Structure 1
Amino acid sequence: MVTRDSREALEALADPELAAAFTAAAAQHRRELVTAWLVQLQRVQTRLTPLRSITKFSDGVARLQFADHSALLVNADHPSRRLRELALALARDKAVTVADAHDDGQHVLVRLHWADHHLDVEVVGADQIS
């Protein structure tokens, strides 16, 4: 049951100024996150750091862990079949490296390369391996 107080609280969230402030804060936070991810990916790419493992993080998300212990979370829904190919390449001791990483304005995309194959994945976060 919705009470009067909860209705008023929900109406306050519909405030256009507040919505604009939330949008601006989210955009600022996204820039900081994307910059951090791209710096990490550039370091991995420049050093030709190989991918060491790919594991399920949660539904629709996979963890990519590199030899330097850096890790990224990627969307596993779209290229799930291709992620299995990537796991097979790792099992066959193929060197999988980052060929490219960029921000297209809405997503951070990473191109992983091995032998004569490549896979583009969308970064959804960073992870810390202990």
Structure 2
Amino acid sequence: MNHSLNDLIKYFCSAYPHSQELSKARLTKMIYLADWENYKDSQKQISNIAWYFDNFGPYVTDVINIAYEDPEVRVVSTRTIYGTDKTLIEYKGQKPILDESVKNVLDKVIEGTKSLSWKSFIDYVYATPPIKQSARYNYLDFSKFI
């Protein structure tokens, strides 16, 4: 059931309606949300990421590393409206073909987050049981929250 992280990145980049908001942090957290959503239903993640709760919530370097490796995906350094650094992930190719169940989970994450400001999005992520009920600087074991 695990799909390549590359396909998940490309799907989110092609389907998310606000591409200028797909920073490495937002995209990483959207993949976390997809893994959590899928785990709640099937006790399996979509990706094979070992999620870590660092200073900024669920974060790993897997997503940005894969983005850098794929010649079809662009990693663009820019600035936020506040002047801080921001790294966007862009993909302009065809939407990857995914299992219908995986596509449904990713679409659910998009629907649930597309209208959220950055602060509301972060609040949404922090409200998930694996983050809300865990201590920072630990790997997240989704099985403890079902």
TM range (shorter): under 0.3
TM-score with structure 2 length normalisation?
Answer: 0.22
Query: Which structure's residues are more often strand, by fraction?
Result: 1
Query: Which structure's residues are more often helix, by fraction?
Result: 2
- Give the greater-gyration-radius structure (CA): 1
**Which has the higher relative contact order, 1 or 2, with Cα contacts under 8 A spaced 6 or more apart?**
2
